[in-house]
Amino acid sequence: MKKKSEAKNKGAEAVHFPKKCECMPQKTVEKLQEVLKRQGIDGKLRLCKEVCVKIGTLTNTLAFGHCKVPVESESPQPRSELLAWIDDNYNGDPGTRDFGEDRLDQFWAHSFTDLAVPGYLCEIQGAVLEVMVRNKHGNDTLNVGCINSPNDSWESKRLTDLGVQVGQKKKITVDLRNVNGTNLLGVIMSNGFLDVAVQDDSTVYCVKLSLRCRCITIPQGWHLPFDKAAQNVLRYQFEEGNLERESCGILDWKELDMRIFDSMKENVRRPFTEVSEITGVFSSTVKEHFYKHVLPRCNVAHYFFPKGYDFYMKNLIRIHTKCEKSIINALKCLPCTTYVYPLEKGLIITLFHENINITMTFIEKMEENGVIEHYTLFTPLWYDHI
């Protein structure tokens, strides 16, 4: 891959962030970084993000509260796994090309990496890929996906089908929620990267990936002692209002889909080759069923335990109340995540706490104040964390 001596149009395009980004003061950001570091997380929180790649320049800017950290590179940066895939599956010239480089029979490729911290603060709800390209052959394709091995497949579409005729230079806009009928958002979240390639004669001038992310609320009492956080729960202004119960119909999974789910529910990054050995089907079949059938019917869970999951005691509580929405909002005042499962009548709550006496005191006071009609406390003999 050639290196250019100077980056053209460097910084020519500004990076914009969603207006509704829930930014935090820098001091809060620094404290939160320290907490995450103690959990073994590298502290790379993303509340929102847009990544721009221009001709000769890759600008990767993160929104971290009010702090923006730009990282620049003069050339596309394909991951080693992507390069290995090209070497194993393509018979043309080895390697990949730079921006604006005119060559035949050679891939152009780039990997958008570090796009999410799966399971923590960022859920990708929208993703748009923009590619400025000159089509030089009728069978050239745009390829997108997450490549982890030479046997993996991705979504491909001819440039002509994307509206770029042979000889024409044009910007392609691709909604990654629907590429050949496949929603790639879950794929990006579970892998944390996106591979993009153009095969194999056409010239790529710039690429831009824009992500729309839902900012997951960090528990408001994450920095408070548990007793003070519990007091804030009791001070909440509770109002009547229950959650809506929605039915999504019958789960139309086949037996293979259920076996794949059972094999990956505790680790969504488990290699498809391992799942293939368990299920007895090809890894390519596992991947297709996972991304097209299993993952779209699952919810992404976001956990936040400042002192580590195993530090907290757990209680399972069933409550009946007319203030379901307010109770859920009030529980955000606690230091860590709370699990809430709506039943046909009432709620099941998995409460993580540091002191059983304080916990039962604020639950009983909520009953005395009429917020909770009645409750049942369960003590599980066995539990598992998935």
pLDDT score at 303: 75
Task: Identify the domain boundary among 187, 215, 243.
Answer: 215
pLDDT attached to residue 202: 92
Looking at the structure, tell me whether residues 324 and 255 fall in a common domain.
yes
- From first to last of its 386 residues, the chain has per-residue pLDDT tens of 333 333 333 222 222 223 333 334 455 555 555 655 554 544 444 333 333 333 323 333 222 222 222 333 467 889 999 999 999 988 888 889 888 888 888 999 999 887 754 434 456 778 889 899 999 999 999 999 999 888 888 899 999 999 999 999 999 999 998 898 888 888 887 788 899 999 888 999 888 888 776 545 567 888 889 999 999 999 999 999 998 887 666 788 899 999 999 998 877 778 888 999 999 999 889 988 888 888 878 876 667 888 888 889 988 999 999 999 999 989 989 998 888 888 888 999 999 999 999 999 989 999 999 999 999 998 767 666 54
Angle formed by the axes of helices 255-264 and 272-279, nearest 10°: 130
pLDDT value of position 14? 27
* The predicted structure's pLDDT at residue 246: 72
For residues 177 and 185, the answer to whether their CB atoms sit within 8 Å is: yes
- What is the H or E stretch that residue 350 is in? strand 347-353
In a domain, 21, yes or no: no
In terms of Cα–Cα distance, which of 302, 309, 336, 299 is closest to 46? 302
- Nearest Cα neighbor of 115 from 171, 191, 223 is 191
279 and 208 co-located in one domain = no
Last residue of a domain, one of 163, 190, 215: 215
Residue range of the domain that includes 50: 26-215
> Is 108:198 a contact under the CB 8 Å cutoff?
yes
- The CATH number of the domain where 62 resides is what? 2.60.120
Nearest to 195 by CA among 230, 150, 163: 150
Which of 215, 247, 263 is the C-terminal boundary of a domain? 215
Euclidean distance between CA atoms 26 and 86, whole angstroms: 43
- Angle value at C-alpha 239, between 238 and 243, nearest 5 degrees: 110
Domain assignment of residue 15, yes or no: no
* Residue 206 sits in the same domain as residue 222: no
Q: Which residues of 358-370 are buried (b: 16+ CB within 10 A; e: fewer)?
A: bbeebbeebeeee
Do 232 and 172 have their domain in common? no
Rounded to the nearest 5 percent, the helix, strand and coil shares of the chain are 25, 25, 50
Question: What's the total number of domains in the chain?
Answer: 2
DSSP string, 83-114: HHHHHHH--SSSSEE-TT---SS-EEEEEE--
Distance CA 353, CA 16 (A): 39
Task: Check: CB of residue 86 under 8 Å from CB of residue 160.
Answer: no
What pLDDT shows up at residue 11? 26
Chain centroid to CA 191: 8
- 17: in domain: no
| Residue type at 39 in one-letter notation | Q
- Is 179 within a domain? yes
CA distances to 150, 314, 337, 343 from 349, rounded to whole Å, are 44, 10, 11, 10
Q: What are phi and psi of 60, to 5 degrees?
A: -120, 100
> Are 332 and 361 in a shared domain?
yes
| Whether residues 173 and 137 fall in one domain | yes
Q: State residue 143's pLDDT score.
A: 94
Q: Are residues 184 and 223 located together in one domain of the fold?
A: no
- Reported as type and span, the H/E element at residue 352 is strand 347-353
Query: Are both 238 and 347 inside the same structural domain?
Result: yes
Does any domain span residue 100?
A: yes
